[in-house]
Amino acid sequence: MAAHFEKCLTEADTVGRLSLPIDWLGILLPFELGSREVEICVSDGFGSYWEFRCSTIKMGLYRKPVLQPEGWLKFVDHKGLKVGDKIILDSEPNDFIGRHFRIRAQKLNHEDDKWVDV
């Protein structure tokens, strides 16, 4: 099953971790028994691969997946992302690696009001 997630970045996203929707728990690679973390390798469409550590945090009665700051903030800094910029995270099944993850970072071009990949 393919999955798609878009988010305009908030200040919390640009200085800390990135929260993912709860339904992404079923999309992410299986967590080791008793572990709350999993490493995922993500391509950015420009030939670069990024390693993110995804963990779960308790949100009331539910567990929510988040990308931890170590890898996430390297990506944010490299792409020059700011509040209001957008990320798009896609995932699709892959026969060889189990699941392929792709991330796109976008900035709004104010001249023509279109999102541009960076």
State pLDDT tens for residues 30-88. 665 566 788 899 999 899 999 999 998 877 777 889 999 999 999 999 999 999 999 99
The vertex-114 CA angle with 19 and 41, nearest 5°, equals 35
Q: What's the average model confidence in pLDDT over 91-110? A: 87
Could you tell me how far CA 49 lies from the centroid of its own chain?
A: 12
pLDDT at residue 25, rounded to an integer: 81
83: left (phi over 0), alpha (psi -120 to 50) or beta: beta
Which domains, and CATH codes, for the chain? 3-117 (2.40.330.10)
pLDDT at residue 99, rounded to an integer: 82
**Where is pLDDT greater, at 60 or 24?**
24
Q: What is the pTM of this model?
A: 0.88
pLDDT at residue 85, rounded to an integer: 98
State pLDDT tens for residues 7-21. 999 999 999 999 999
Q: Which of 88, 52, 80, 85 is nearest to 68 (CA)?
A: 52
Q: Tell me whether strands 114-117 and 98-109 are parallel, antiparallel or unpaired.
A: antiparallel
pLDDT at residue 97, rounded to an integer: 66
Q: What's the average model confidence in pLDDT over 79-102? A: 89
